Amino acid sequence: MELFATYCSAEKQITAADLSALQRYDSDRIRGVHAQAKATGARFGILSGQFGLIAGTQSLPWYDHLLQEDQVISMVLTVTATLEEWGITSIRWFSVAFEMDPNVGRYRDVMAQAAAASNIPFEIELWQPAGTTHLI
């Protein structure tokens, strides 16, 4: 199964109640990637710096955590297990340009390393603010 994935968002709906990941993250990028996955029949996932690779329907509490460099290796192991559990055979990773946000590189590295560990093809698509993408 193909996976369309992107990283979480610092902008979140602030409420004490648990919300689905798609409701918690306030991000046009996440909503856009989800819509593309749904339109093509791909699996959709969000890489959370706190919870690992999650489905858009996963319930999340309020949290604020940016993936740190010293967490990359352990997160790769967590994501590798999820890729296997989900039966993923290829990954399309959607990201803004790395120059726009230097923090997204750690999330990309986690997914790329997990894909390599699982022998899964990994492709990066640049997410533009208007929602258009192109391969990089």
pTM of the model: 0.88
Place of tokens 């996963």: 58
Please state which of the ranges 55-64, 84-93, 98-107 shows the lowest mean pLDDT.
98-107
Q: Is the pLDDT of residue 55 over 70?
A: yes
H-helix segments, 2-103: 21-24, 28-40, 72-86
Percent over 90 (pLDDT), the chain: 56
Say yes or no to pLDDT of 136 above 60: no
pLDDT of residue 31: 92
Mean per-residue pLDDT over the chain, rounded: 88
d(CA 102, CA 28): 19
Average pLDDT over every residue of 111-131: 88
Contact between 93 and 123 (Cβ < 8 Å):
yes
Mean local confidence (pLDDT), 38-43: 96
Per CATH, domain 2-135 is 3.40.50: yes
Rg value, the chain, Cα: 14
